[in-house]
A = this chain, B = another copy of it.
């Protein structure tokens, strides 16, 4: 027999709950900069390595090509990202941050810092490091088994 207490004993459940809370609060914070969490994620991925084709972003962000297509278009419309058509392949293009986009990065990063501090500041240094370490192990693992999302 499955007892009620067992049912809440899923790590995935707690993770979703905490992650949602963190993301929700972060969304609130960045909305002041007229940016969504997905947009920040997109911009940061670009910052790490640009110019980048949408297909690569899709894989890195775990989103579909369609979603990236729309998200990219929104960011271009906001003037934070720009496209460069490829000469080798007329279907393809690559994306980069604009000067304005690049300028926003430190501001948004500061908000992310603040959000992290707000949520994870209750942990001891040891707990926080352990959490980071564990999340990286899991993310890395995901990388290996990642089924193409599309």
The distance from the CB of A80 to the nearest CB of chain B, in whole angstroms, is 15
Do the beta carbons of B22 and A15 come within 8 Å of each other?
A: yes
Name the residue on B nearest A113 (C-beta).
B10
Do the beta carbons of B137 and A123 come within 8 Å of each other?
A: yes
Name the interface size band of chain A: 35 or more
Task: Give A8 to B138 CA distance when docked, in angstroms.
Answer: 15
- Known contacts: A18-B138, A137-B122. The answer to whether A47 contacts B10 by CB under 8 A is no
Copy number of this protein in the oligomer? 2
Do the beta carbons of A105 and B10 come within 8 Å of each other?
A: no
Task: Give A123 to B12 CA distance when docked, in angstroms.
Answer: 14
Name the residue on B nearest A130 (C-beta).
B130
Task: Give A44 to B18 CA distance when docked, in angstroms.
Answer: 17
Task: Give A24 to B120 CA distance when docked, in angstroms.
Answer: 24
Listed A/B pairs (15) with beta-carbon separation below 8 Å = A2-B105, A7-B44, A7-B47, A10-B112, A11-B120, A11-B135, A12-B22, A12-B23, A15-B135, A17-B62, A24-B62, A122-B137, A122-B138, A127-B134, A130-B134
